[in-house]
Amino acid sequence: MNVQELSIAGAFVLDPVVRPDERGEFFELFKGTAFRAATGRGLVVAQTNVSVNRAGAVRGIHYADVPPGQAKLVACLHGSALDVIVDLRVGSPTFGAVETVRLDDEAHRTVYVAEGLGHGFCALTDGAVVAYHVSSEYNPSAEHGVDPLDPDLGIDWPSEVQPILSEKDTAAPSLAEALAAGALPRWLG
């Protein structure tokens, strides 16, 4: 597995070694010891979520209260999705920065998102299956979001699909509103 840190501290792309043969392909989606050796971080999985999406479905930008926060390991098992990470940690040197990574069922790459970072994705294909292991169980009172279409975030959402948002994501505050309300996590260094 090749692990590369993105420009936002705590966000990583993992590219597996894919071993094809006459039966198909085999790869390790995640290997804890290799990930810890490359990043100094571990991942304890408390819950695994799977969503099946229409092309254009946007989920996020979501984050959880820190502490404890919620780290995520995200993969697209079928089809393709544009994964989005936003640094929402007040005081972080990269506060407001956005990283995007294409996830699909061909390259099999995954994304690790640390606690305090905002996360979302847009399905690029009908039937895109996105799975993510998370470090803490879903707690509705500790989950928050910012408007994924907030122009101040500057997310370059794919133009080939029409965004489909939930009512919750449509009603989410802008980054400026969440900051003014004191609702964003703090950078812990």
**Active-site residue set:** 62, 132
Whole-angstrom Cα distance, residue 28 to residue 17?
7
Q: Long-range contacts of range 31-39, CB-CB < 8 Å, 24 or more positions apart?
A: 31/1, 34/1, 34/3, 35/1, 35/3, 35/112, 38/1, 38/3, 38/12, 39/3, 39/5, 39/12, 39/112
**DSSP conformation class of 186:** B
Angle formed at CA 59 by CA 140 and CA 158, multiple of 5 degrees: 165
CA atoms within 13 A of residue 47's CA, in its CB half-sphere = 9
